[in-house]
A and B are shown apart, each in its own frame.
Chain A
Amino acid sequence: MSIEEKVEDYKKTLAMFPNPQEKYQYLIEQAKKNEDFPQELRIDEFKVNGCQSQVWLVPEEKKDKLYFKSDSDALIAKGLVTLIASIYSNEAPKDIANSKIDLMEEFELGVILSPARRNGAFSMLKTIKEFSQKLAN
């Protein structure tokens, strides 16, 4: 599935939850499914700056494709980073770097995410894009 198709998929799923509490619960479920993050990778090198809680994103390159492992000490942030990591995982660095899609706009998370958390989400995306850009070059 392409980045755009995955985004479309998540959009449809999120639309099934009309109120913010249900949306958060969905993110919490995603967080709970994401259990394989190695504790030893919870280090500053992989920490995403600008989040209210601690968020870690670890890129991994396998056969010309990028994969992202993610974690956070807060559940809702972890759900969000899990979702973002799954959108950009199994993609070529070039495709990630060139993707113009604005996830925050697509998911209409602006209302339920406070500006501080929006910054957090932007930081997650920035980390992914920067890493992909480096590899694509």
Chain B
Amino acid sequence: MINVSDLKKDFPIFEREINGKRLTYLDSGATSQKPSAVINEMSNVYTNMNANVHRGTYVLSSETTTKYEDVRNKLKDFINAYSSDEIIFTKGCTEGFNFLANSICKELSAGDEIILSEIEHHANIIPWQMVAEKYNLKINYINITKSFDLDLDHFESLLNSKTKVVSIVGESNMSGMLPDIQKMNSLVKEKTDAIYIVDGAQLVPHRKIDVQELGIDFICVSGHKMLGPTGIGVVWGRKELLEKLDPVYGGGDMIEEVFYDSATWAPVPHKFEAGTPPYVEAIGLGAAVDYLSSLNMKNVEKHSDDLRIYAKNKLENIKGLNVVHTNSKVAGCTFAMSVNGVHATDISLMLDTFGVAVRAGHHCVQPFHRKLNLDATFRATGYIYNDEEDFDILSDAIEESIKILT
């Protein structure tokens, strides 16, 4: 069980007041707040041991390198990877998708197909569009049903011998939908030789993930959405697949030998990590993983599920509020909302005056907003430091804002 009032004490930002009100932070889908453990660990590295990793033959560099490389082990355990070599550090999920799209697709043939869904984040659309144009590949999108879930029959109908990549969100940053990854991955493996990639940006912060059990090939992870700092993320991939992939970025640290006319690559994972890595951020992410592990991800998951049920009931009972949220029994605590005739930015500005932080816009899911005929929505997402009171405050503030704005 997570005791939110105790846990909040670990997050210094909650000492702040906004517009004279307690901070009701419901924008963790955009970025999570950071516990002191993460802030202090990063400060500790800069204060006591900062040196570039993998290069120095002196104490500071050795300590920093050990700490940095140890984060791979933490992440290996966190998602149950087969080996810590399968943990590739990136700047974040977006860079992860750009790396995978560029590296995977250059081996494909013209006419090969990629499957995405209609509700993907732009980070899982644009990189594929860019390479699809370059290599003449086709992108198919899985339809979303009226209850904001994936249309699995449509998905099955898209699978064929030309399908080479299936890249699907693990938890929707708009409707909270949690696709049945195991089932979808099994269908892919049964009918095609395609690889299955999961966008784990929202999934990994909230749920216990076991990549071996899921049977997937790759997952992209964002550090800052799971209590870690910005500028750090992870791509996990099966080692045998990673070994076949070529690096996308060249430079220092990713090489074995360099000649004037050619070079050979360092083994996985380093061949994908050119240049000085964001090692302090990676160490910060390690502290975030320790923090989440100490809570036990099963508890984090339960907290999210309980809060989601409470919030769903609360929000769906507000008169005049349209809630874009799946009806599935289990889903993420994420609610995109709109009010007829009221602009999402007006509502979110008004909510701010009540100390409530939500995001307004298209949340990087523009095509799906267009499909729903919505210019923008405002979105509330709950995390470990949110409780029922936060959603009570949100609901009251939404009702007050609607009154003012209509």
Contact = CB atoms under 8 A, between A and B. Distances in A.
Interface of A: 19-21, 24-25, 28, 52-54, 73-77, 114, 117
Contacts of A25: 404
Given A25-B404, A28-B405, A74 B346 contact: yes
Nearest to A51: B345
Contacts of B345: 52-53, 74, 76-77, 117
Contact of A21 (B342, B353, B360): B353
A77 B352 CA distance: 15
Interface string B374-394: 011000000000000000000
Given A53-B343, A73-B375, A74-B343, A24 B361 contact: no
Contacts of B404: 21, 24-25, 28
A11 B30 CA distance: 35
Contacts of B19: 19-21
A117 B343 CA distance: 14
Contacts of A54: 375
B350 interface: yes
B349 interface: yes
Given A19-B19, A52-B360, A75-B343, A24 B349 contact: yes
Contacts of A77: 343, 345-346
B361 A19 contact: no
A21 to B, nearest CB: 4
Interface of B: 19-20, 342-343, 345-346, 349-350, 352-354, 360-361, 375-376, 404-405
B343 A20 contact: no
A21 B376 CA distance: 22
Q: Which of B342, B345, B354 has the most CB of A within 10 A?
A: B345
Contacts of A52: 345, 360-361, 376
Nearest to B343: A74
Given A19-B19, A52-B360, A52-B361, A75 B353 contact: no
A28 B402 CA distance: 13
B262 to A, nearest CB: 46
B346 A19 contact: no
27 contacts: A19-B19, A19-B353, A20-B19, A21-B19, A21-B353, A21-B354, A25-B404, A28-B405, A52-B360, A52-B361, A52-B376, A53-B346, A53-B376, A54-B375, A73-B343, A74-B346, A75-B342, A75-B343, A75-B346, A75-B405, A76-B346, A76-B349, A77-B343, A77-B345, A77-B346, A114-B349, A117-B349
A75 B345 CA distance: 9
Nearest to B19: A20
A20 B346 contact: no
A114 B350 CA distance: 12
Contacts of B343: 53, 73-75, 77
A77 B350 CA distance: 12
Nearest to B375: A73
Contacts of A20: 19, 352-353
Nearest to B18: A20
A20 B376 CA distance: 23
A47 to B, nearest CB: 13
Contacts of A24: 349-350, 353, 404
A14 to B, nearest CB: 15
Given A28-B405, A53-B345, A21 B361 contact: no
A1 B361 CA distance: 38
A21 B401 CA distance: 10
Contacts of B361: 52
Contacts of B376: 52-53
Contacts of B346: 53, 74-77
Contacts of B349: 24, 76, 114, 117
Contacts of A76: 345-346, 349
A41 B29 CA distance: 37
A72 to B, nearest CB: 8
A129 B152 CA distance: 54
Contacts of B354: 21
A75 B343 CA distance: 7
Q: Which of B346, B375, B376 has the most CB of A within 10 A?
A: B346
A30 to B, nearest CB: 14
A90 to B, nearest CB: 28
Contacts of B20: 19
Given A20-B352, A21-B354, A53-B376, 13 more contacts: A24-B349, A24-B353, A28-B404, A52-B376, A53-B346, A54-B375, A74-B343, A75-B342, A76-B345, A76-B346, A76-B349, A77-B343, A117-B349
Given A28-B405, A73-B343, A74-B345, A21 B350 contact: yes
A25 B346 CA distance: 11
Contacts of B375: 53-54, 73
